[in-house]
Structure 1
Amino acid sequence: MHRFPTAAQSFRILTSMTALLSLGTLITGQDAKAATSTTTPQVTLGDDGNSNGQSMFRTLFDGQRALGTSGLSSLEGASGGGIASWATIGGYGSNKSAGMVMHYSYVNLTSYWDQNVGASMGFFDRVEISYTHNFFQTRGTGAKLGIGNGYQFDLDVAGAKVRLFGHVADNTLIPQVAIGGMYKHDSDGKVIHEVGSMHTDGGDAYLAVTKLFPKIGILIDTTVRFTKGNQWGILGFGGDKDNNYHAQFEGSLGYLPSFIPGLVVGVEYRTKPRNQRFTDESNWFDVYTSYFVNKHLNVTLAYVSLGTIATYKDQTGFYFSAQTGF
């Protein structure tokens, strides 16, 4: 079982990631100057002109995709919303280079909390690979459940996504469409089986359709996920009630107000399987606001309602995520 990081350790992780990106910006030299003269960021498609084509860093990571087209970072590490995977490809690399994103997320619920650290890389605006680790902390609820005060579940998620066609924010009506898969491993086999889950390892497959309409500032995503993960895998996969894969729906709706460039506000909804007799599982809902300061920093805050988790109902709270990338 992994050791749960303290708030100070989490802050140092985030600081280190930011410092790394700052170093990359210094390497680009003239790009840093261009960034200081750039006007207020806008979430639209196109080349923002911040690549001079000279440095090795900009050859590998040209950053030519528009601000916001990298998406946010989900709890499962793939680019998208907080609880939904989108068709977006992480990072800002064009079809001739790569991009990278690192994130830290924190969810504080009525009876639990979760910390999440991960990264994703996009290649040629076509392929994304991702990894994240969830530290799900039961706090005092663990003692009530009989698994120990402060018991922690650990979940590793490795993912891959391929854009099939379309671009999220071009001027056509054709959406960006991607297929993806995730391999998940839960390290808490003993408890997982005691609560009626069949497996500590599982996989998800999904098809995502995402489109931004810049003229009206509306973002729409629809995702179909095939999964048998319990609480996205924190409580294992399959169960004594159902051990089959079923299609689940994920949807996101966002609004980009023209009077505050870089801001996105919206809602998300995600349906969940019901595999265990031990506990019900509820559909998820959130209301979020996310601000793209620039391509190196995005901050998201949300109210989340996750329903019943391990017999404890009305699990609501707040979600915070900081994403840094290039």
Structure 2
Amino acid sequence: MRDTIQLRQCLFVLSMMGAAGGAHAQVLRPDLGKLLATGGVSQVEGAGGGGLVPWALISGYGSRDSWGGNVHLTRARTQDFALDTRGVAVGIADRVELSFARQDFKGSLAPLDRLHIRQDIVGVKLKLVGDAVYDQDRALPQLAVGAMFKHNKGVGGLGALNVGSVMDLGAKDARGIDVYLAATKVLLAHSLLLNGTIRASKANQMGLLGFGGDRGDGYKALLEVSAAYMISRKLVAGVEYRMKPRNLGIDNEKDAYDAFVAWFPNKHVSLTAAYAGLGDITVLNPKRQRGLYLSLQTGF
């Protein structure tokens, strides 16, 4: 009898654990609860936003009771350079975003035709207050604070110029942290998205040429803005502008801009195409670099 009672108790405990586990799994299952396109696309440093600028929106389509995520592949090609980015981002409870991106930067024109720079970026974003979509009756935008931890992995292909790291180009460090505050508002009645971001950074060319330099090694407050118009529920067009810090004497850095179109056929795939102006890259190639940007994102 005692063994039977103990067996029944064990079965009861196991059944309760199973029920709790099932409920927990249901909470954690991606629910695709957010509106189409409201996770943004994958920004070139891995965060959710536009192509150049991080927004306050959280990546993925998971609601506040769930989570979502995506992976992306991006290629930007100018006259003489190519930047390839691949990464992953996860949004948790529409509150926290974690991301990782790897950038590969290459040159195609002598003396930089063998140039190859790699950079890893780990990002975190926290939604502070507001909701860009659902707070239509309030002027308050969605606010989020974020950080990007960047590690430049070195400069390849310039051994003939005695350059093997970004410090050889005048940078003060190969590692750095960008911190930003983003404000995003979606005006559904006008089919319009507006975003403003203030970034504290000393990253040269997003960190591809290191951090700090002979012109300055302190953090600078840099403005980044985006505006997008929802042509239809699945098609968005917009423009972006991003300031640069100008720390290196060898790099006559210019502000960057783009004009983009993003297509969202469903909540699992998006495709973004843009025309981007990235300015000068180094004095070794003083041409202002302009070209095409293409990004494919898939997730839930």
Question: TM-score, structure 1 length as denominator?
Answer: 0.79
**Structure 2 residue identity aligned to 1:245:** Y
- Superposed counterparts of 1:37-56, under 5 Å: 56=25
For residue 217 of structure 1, what is the aligned residue in structure 2? 191
Q: Does 1:152 align with 2:116?
A: yes
For residue 261 of structure 2, what is the aligned residue in structure 1? 289
**Structure 1 residue identity aligned to 2:171:** S
**Structure 1 residue identity aligned to 2:247:** N
Kindly state the Cα deviation for residue 241 of structure 1 after the two structures are TM-superposed.
1.1
- 3-state SS in 1 of match to 2:190: coil
Query: 2: CA distance between counterparts of 1:57 and 1:192?
Result: 48
Unmatched 5+ residue regions in structure 2? 1-21, 156-163
* Structure with the higher strand share, 1 or 2: 2
Runs of 4+ deviating beyond 6 Å: none
Alignment CA distance shift 1:57-1:280 (3 Å): farther
- 3-state SS in 2 of match to 1:194: helix
Query: 2: CA distance between counterparts of 1:115 and 1:291?
Result: 20
Query: 2: CA distance between counterparts of 1:322 and 1:160?
Result: 21
**Structure 2 residue identity aligned to 1:167:** D
Query: 2: CA distance between counterparts of 1:274 and 1:201?
Result: 17
Kindly state the Cα deviation for residue 263 of structure 1 after the two structures are TM-superposed.
0.8
Write out per-residue CA displacement over residues 194-236 of structure 1, whole angstroms, 9 at most, x where no aligned residue.
2111100000000000011011101100000000000000000
- 3-state SS in 1 of match to 2:34: coil
Larger Rg: 2
Write out per-residue CA displacement over residues 159-213 of structure 1, whole angstroms, 9 at most, x where no aligned residue.
0000001111122322110000010000116331121111000000000000110
Query: 1: CA distance between counterparts of 2:294 and 2:259?
Result: 12
Write out per-residue CA displacement over residues 112-154 of structure 1, whole angstroms, 9 at most, x where no aligned residue.
0011000100111100000000010112x3x414xxx422100
For residue 97 of structure 2, what is the aligned residue in structure 1? 128
- Superposed counterparts of 1:88-167, under 5 Å: 88-139=57-108, 141=109, 143-145=110-112, 149-167=113-131
Name the Cα RMSD after superposition.
1.6
Q: Does 1:319 align with 2:288?
A: no
For residue 68 of structure 1, what is the aligned residue in structure 2? 37
Contact 2:129 2:144 in 1 (8 A): yes
Unmatched 5+ residue regions in structure 1? 1-52
Contact 2:83 2:106 in 1 (8 A): yes
Kindly state the Cα deviation for residue 288 of structure 1 after the two structures are TM-superposed.
0.4
Kindly state the Cα deviation for residue 95 of structure 1 after the two structures are TM-superposed.
0.9
For residue 268 of structure 1, what is the aligned residue in structure 2? 240
Contact 2:55 2:182 in 1 (8 A): yes
- Superposed counterparts of 1:290-309, under 5 Å: 290-309=262-281
- 3-state SS in 2 of match to 1:237: coil
